Amino acid sequence: MSQGVELLRKVLAHRDRLSAEDLVSLNALTFRVENFARGSEIIAEHSRPDASCLIVSGLAARAVFQADGTRQLTALHIAGDFVDLHGFLLKTMDHSVMALTKSSVAFVPHEQLADLTRKSPHLTRLLWLMTVVDAAVQRRMTALIGRYTPLQRLAHLICELYVRLGVVGLVDGQSFGFPIRQAEVADLLGLSLVHTNRTIQDIRATKLVAWADGRITVADFAKLSTLCHFDPTYLSLRPEKR
């Protein structure tokens, strides 16, 4: 079983029980793995990909660029995220996907996904769900940037990462690797670089989070959650019949 499929199985299993038949269909998917350097573009805006990709390792982000070169990173993606399932339906990309760290990415051809929609309604619904969860995460991001203070935005980002990375086993005790530059955090949170730096100092001052050398340690998840009103409902992490 490829690493990509194994990760996908783990992520889907958090949302619904997978039947033996589901597993067979999953295993039938063939992934081509490709590596990307930090800062490189995995999928380009306006391109027409013929395969969808899943992050095997590393961090990636969806990016929307502006004419003046500034950008907004609209979503962050981690190992196990079927990032570009969207492209399967969109056909033409409305945004790009960037590797924020050295990443390993698995591609599955669109034909195989189309096949899945014909042969496995249940897996289809689960993959559909994954894109709907992406939408929910995006909604939360909109709300964060629109109505939360910078400190809350950052706290929320950390809470979300803590939970999502936990699902794929990437939280070690209370800490996880997050080798991201502050400029990128700024583009995620909709802040300037300087203000982001100060906000990071603010969150360190709360003592709820330690952040050094590309690693974040969550000292008090409960208090951090309260600070930013984190409610994980939007991640749909309860196994249910779907």
Enumerate binding residues for DNA (CB under 7 A). Answer: 149-150, 181-183, 190-195, 197-198, 200-201
Site for a second copy contains 18 (CB under 8 A) = no
From the list DNA, a second copy, none, pick the one residue 128 interacts with, judged by a Cβ distance below 5 to 8 Å according to partner type: a second copy
From the list DNA, a second copy, none, pick the one residue 2 interacts with, judged by a Cβ distance below 5 to 8 Å according to partner type: none
CB closer to DNA, 58 vs 190: 190
Using CB under 8 A, which of 3, 112, 117, 206 touches a second copy? 117
CB closer to DNA, 128 vs 148: 148
CA distance 46 to 63: 12
Site for a second copy contains 94 (CB under 8 A) = yes
Using CB under 8 A, which of 145, 163, 168, 210 touches a second copy? 145
Using CB under 8 A, which of 76, 100, 189, 209 touches a second copy? 189
CA distance 119 to 123: 9
Q: Which stretch binds a second copy (CB under 8 A): 50-58, 96-104, 127-135, 203-211?
A: 127-135
Nearest distance, CB of residue 174 and a second copy, angstroms: 26
Nearest distance, CB of residue 20 and a second copy, angstroms: 18
End-to-end Cα separation, the chain, in angstroms: 25
Nearest distance, CB of residue 110 and a second copy, angstroms: 10
